[in-house]
Amino acid sequence: MRRKPVVGVIGNAHRIESRFDVQVVGERNMRAVAEVAGALPLMFAGCPEITDVGALLDVVDGIVLTGARANVHPTRFNIEPHVRHEPYDIKRDEVALALAEACVARGIPLFGICRGLQEMNVAFGGSLHPEIREIPGRINHRMPRLENGEIHPDPRVVFADRHEVSLAPDGAFAKILGCEKIRVNSLHGQGILEPGKRVVIEGIAEDGTIEAIRIADAPGFALGVQWHAEYDPQRNPINRKLFQAFGVALSTHVKVGASA
């Protein structure tokens, strides 16, 4: 019997009761991996003192770089940090950027979601804008809020499809999804400014924001999306196809490894 693929899902730094440092992963990420990609999700720490990238990649068949509240630290792309763009998760930056490069080099399936897409871009030499909505002509891509400034309490409103994305004809996403235009949710402030050297733009929002990328000449699955595809792949046909394609890549990696 062929074993089930194992997917490493990166953790995020969090503090409970202002005292206890923990690593957390949103359950929807792990459910998407388990229920749609057909793999076993394995959380690992976004902390270089704990996580050895090489040892991790010897164990897993794929990696998911999830979304997160923290922004990638601006010094990673030669911009001065500002208190307005906090919080940061410097330790996750170190692990995630190294992982993105290593996965591509070793042909290990890599799926970046929201912050994960941004990490993939930075790993290959690209830059980010800390607040996309401040660029002239861009819309507010952050999650919906009430008039008093609080985040909308209904997740169906927060994660509702909010704008269109045009996909590159004959690109990887168009082939996976079977179309060249989709609608997606939007819950981010930071976004790609300049693409990295190997970053191929495959999806662009109505306002010009980069929403989908792939890494050129990657020997395996290496795709990133700016929207939160993990929220509803069990019922959303677009996000389901993405996680299913990731699952196929995982199974192929397992099969190749078993025959090596």
| In-domain check, residue 155 | no
Residue 32 covered by a domain: yes
- 173 occurs within a structural domain: no
Residue 169 covered by a domain? no
Neighbouring CB atoms inside 10 A of 144's CB total 15
In the block, tokens 């999650």 appear at 143
pLDDT value at residue 145: 77
- Could you tell me if 223 and 148 are in contact, meaning their C-beta atoms sit under 8 angstroms apart? no
Please report where in the chains the tokens 């996580």 appear, as a residue. Answer: 51
Residue 23 inside a domain? The answer is yes
Q: Chain centroid to CA 20: how far?
A: 26
Per-residue pLDDT tens for 37-86?
999 999 999 999 999 999 999 999 999 999 988 899 999 988 888 887 78
- Residue 35 is predicted with a pLDDT of 98
Identify the bridge partners of residue 24 per DSSP, sorted by sequence position: 12
- Phi and psi, residue 214, nearest 5°: -135, 160
The CATH code of the domain that includes 81 is: 3.40.50.880
Question: Is residue 175 in some structural domain?
Answer: no
- On whether residue 232 sits in a domain, the answer given is yes
For residue 84, is it within any domain? yes
Considering its fold, how many domains does the chain have in total? 1
Q: Known catalytic residues?
A: 114, 228, 230
By residue range, what is the domain housing residue 194?
6-131+189-259
pLDDT at position 197 is: 93
Each residue's pLDDT tens digit, 103-148: 999 999 999 999 999 999 999 999 998 887 877 878 777 777 777 7
